[in-house]
Amino acid sequence: MFFGLAWYWWLVIMAVLMAYIPFKIKCMKWWRKRQQEKDGRRGKWGDDE
C-alpha cells in the first residue's frame, strides 16, 4: 500500500494522531495561560527591566 505500509498501520497512525492533536491543543492553552500569568506578575512586583 501507500509507502509500503499495510492498511492496519495506517489505522494505528490515524488513531495516534487523533489522540495527540487534542492533547497538544490542551497543552498549548495551558502554556499560554501560564506565560500570561508569569508576565502579569513581573509588572506587578516591579521586576521590569
Tell me the pLDDT tens digit for each residue of 7-29: 888 899 999 999 999 999 999 99
CB 39 within 8 A of CB 45: no
pLDDT at 3 over 70: yes
Residue type, 37: E
pLDDT of residue 7: 86
pLDDT at 37 over 90: no
The owner of cell 492533536 is 21
Least-confidence region, from 1-10, 21-30, 40-49? 40-49
Name the pTM for this structure.
0.53
